[in-house]
Amino acid sequence: MTPKGCLRNSGCTIRSLCPGGRIVILDLVKHRFEEARELCADEWMGFSESDLESMLEQAGFQDVQTSVVYKEPETPNFQTLMAAADKAS
């Protein structure tokens, strides 16, 4: 299943949260380090902030916030992306 499908799967993700509940996602910023597919079983090569924000909004979440929370100093210089969003009250 794709990440978008996972968030939108019959609304399961948003339905499982109580009103006012929050989802938090940590993943990598989009990268081109192909070796990650084998080394880390990485199926998705990360996400841009705008892609993750759009996926959450399309799944029905609101007040979506995204930010890069860590930048790896060594090669392959992965960046960790955090997204948080709320279910309507």
**How many distinct structural domains can be found in the chain?**
1
CATH of the domain at 16: 3.40.50.150
Kindly report the pTM of this predicted structure. Answer: 0.83
Range of the domain at 19: 3-86
Using one digit for the tens of pLDDT, what is the confidence trace for 27-67? Answer: 999 999 999 888 888 788 999 999 999 999 988 899 999 99
For the chain, what is the HEC assignment? CCHHHHHHHHHHHHHCCCCCCEEEEEEEECCCCCCHHHHCCCCCCCECHHHHHHHHHHCCCEEEEEEEEEECCCCCCCEEEEEEEECCC
